[in-house]
Amino acid sequence: MSSRELVVLGTAGQAPTRTRNHNGYLLRWDGTSVLFDPGEGIQRQMLHAGVSSPRIERICVTHRHNDHCLGIPGVLNRMAQDAPGRSVTLHGPADAAVHLRNLAIVAQAQVQVEVVGVPELDELVPVADVAGAHLSARALDHRVPAIGYRLAEPPGTTFSAAALAAAGISGPDVGRLQREGELRGVRLADVSTTRPGQVFAFVMDTRVCPAIGEVVADADLAVLECTYAHRDVDLARTRGHLTARQAGEIAARAGVRTLLLTHFSRRYDTAELGREARDAVAALGGSTLVHVAQDLDVVPLPTRAARG
């Protein structure tokens, strides 16, 4: 099992259907888990997916509309059953902080809950550290204040065993070389390659705006809503959403490696939305892979190769 993967708990926009639950996305990242936008019914979806609630350390909400956060009381109660007395942090735009606190109060769960409001700024702002990666957020453009999330791992270093041996460097000296950048005339670049950090991005309800590109730039896996087909682009703009074509274009231009489409209106066949996004990527000459999410999908983050 991959140590970094996204479990799709629900894919419906606004209202669930017979085959799609309300929103919900759990990111497993190096032994910890972050739950994004848990809508109603997510506690049951977690059981179907085999998701362990004690590993959830943070719940990140993009905005205060209930299809993106009404599952919080149930999730907190599940946590209280599985690991009483534990703590969890709820993140969301500052506009949603009171609503999130009220949802935590409704739960009346034996869980220590901290609600942290994120400023809705036109730049990426730090939110938290997640297992060594940096979680940040940026304001988007919806009918209420909304933010998108970006989780970025710092670049790493991959050493060449042969190069280290040839240079006569071993044991504690390897760590010293990494910290100082040079040791006894040997440069770090002489015996290692740079491994780019992985990037995960999460964007829900928003109109097209430049901020989306900044949130998803160079992401290995980007989750984008595509509530509408492009034939209904005027409706999407009015209601503050993306079309599948727009999602594909944004991902291609931003260099996204894998695009996960979700948050579907029940008026569409999701296969149509997938075709529309793939056609948009192809028209721009992009290489983004497009995946149409289904409930209970498990999507691994693509690995990154080292580069010299």
263 is in an annotated binding site: yes
CA distance 209 to 61: 19
Tell me the backbone φ, ψ of residue 272, rounded to 5 degrees.
-60, -40
Neighbours of 88 (CB within 10 A): 22
CA distance 239 to 195: 41
CA distance 305 to 197: 10
CA distance 3 to 28: 7
Burial class of residue 162 in the structure, from the number of CB atoms within 10 Å of its CB (0-12 exposed, 13-18 middle, 19+ buried): exposed
220 is in an annotated binding site: no
99 is in an annotated binding site: no
205 is in an annotated binding site: yes
CA distance 137 to 124: 5
67 is in an annotated binding site: yes
68 is in an annotated binding site: yes
Tell me the backbone φ, ψ of residue 7, rounded to 5 degrees.
-100, 120
Closest CA to 7 of 300, 261, 304: 300
Residues forming beta bridges with residue 192, ordered by sequence position: 159
Q: Determine contact, residues 261/20, Cβ cutoff 8 Å.
A: no
67 labelled catalytic:
yes
Of the residues 30, 37, 67, 220, which is catalytic?
67
65 is in an annotated binding site: yes
Which residues sit in the known binding site for Zn(2+)? 63, 65, 67-68, 142, 205, 263
Which residues sit in the known binding site? 63, 65, 67-68, 142, 205, 263
User: Which residues are the active-site residues?
Assistant: 67
